[in-house]
Amino acid sequence: MKYFSLFLIAIFIQSSALAQFSFGGGLSTTKFFNSQSIQNQNLLMPGLHAHIEIPRSGDVTLYGRVAYLFPKANNNTLTSYVTAINQNTNPYILAVNSRYKTSYVSLEGGNRYYIGNDYDNGFSGYGGSGIVVTFGTVRRAYEPTDVSGQIEWEQAYQTDPADATEGKLFALGGYLQGGLKYTIPALGTIYSDVTLNYLLLANGNNNTALATEYISPLYFNFSLGFKKDIY
């Protein structure tokens, strides 16, 4: 969420100095491909987005969007062992289930081209391309009880210090986008678009980051939202 807040502040400061721009947001869903041959077939991540458009002409805009994808757990459940903080605790070792959860903040920007009507008038289609930068967080989420479901362990036991409970992902790539919009006079614009993202670079800082199931060289994003023109 830190990147999300910084991006919104930056575009607000920038847009306040412009004569005309549009600002909006809405719902997003990202679909990853099963490129790792895993059992998880539900590789959808829902989220929210906000974006800004700055007109370069009537049918060409400079466009930027920030999206936050809510944490989503891997399909596979892992079993590991936790040890008691006090050596006199009985039992001293417990088996605990956990799953990796992934969330993303993505930033994209480029040019958008409108066909049919101008970007702030009537019904039209649009398309564009640009750069996408993605920051991911992968956390290992443990169940609050042991595998038997009988013992709450979090206050009296600890995980293996060698196991990283959080990892970070960084990805860089490009995108191709197409969509439709309708501008309602004096009210605003309803829009919907589909974006194909392709990664050129993807790195994780540890094994926890690399354990995510929610990453693939190609992935789609579906967005639905509303924007308002500011003059």
CA-based diameter of the chain, in Å? 75
DSSP-based helix, strand, coil % in the chain, nearest 5: 10, 60, 30
Check if the beta carbon of residue 72 is closer than 8 Å to that of residue 103. yes
Check if the beta carbon of residue 196 is closer than 8 Å to that of residue 222. no
Task: Specify which residues 143 forms β-bridges with.
Answer: none
CA distance 203 to 157: 32
pLDDT at 229: 86
pLDDT at 36: 72
Burial track 135-150 (b if 16+ CB lie within 10 A, e otherwise)? bbbbbbebeeebeeee
Q: Tens digit of pLDDT for each residue in 139-172?
A: 999 999 999 999 999 999 999 888 888 999 999 9
pLDDT at 17: 47
What pTM does this model have? 0.85
pLDDT for 37 beyond 90: no
pLDDT at 161: 86
Q: Give the domains, in start order, of the chain with CATH numbers.
A: 2-230 (2.40.160.20)
Q: Tens digit of pLDDT for each residue in 84-140?
A: 999 999 999 999 999 999 999 999 999 999 999 988 889 999 999 999 999 999 999
Q: Virtual CA dihedral for 195, 199, 200, 201, nearest 10 degrees?
A: 140
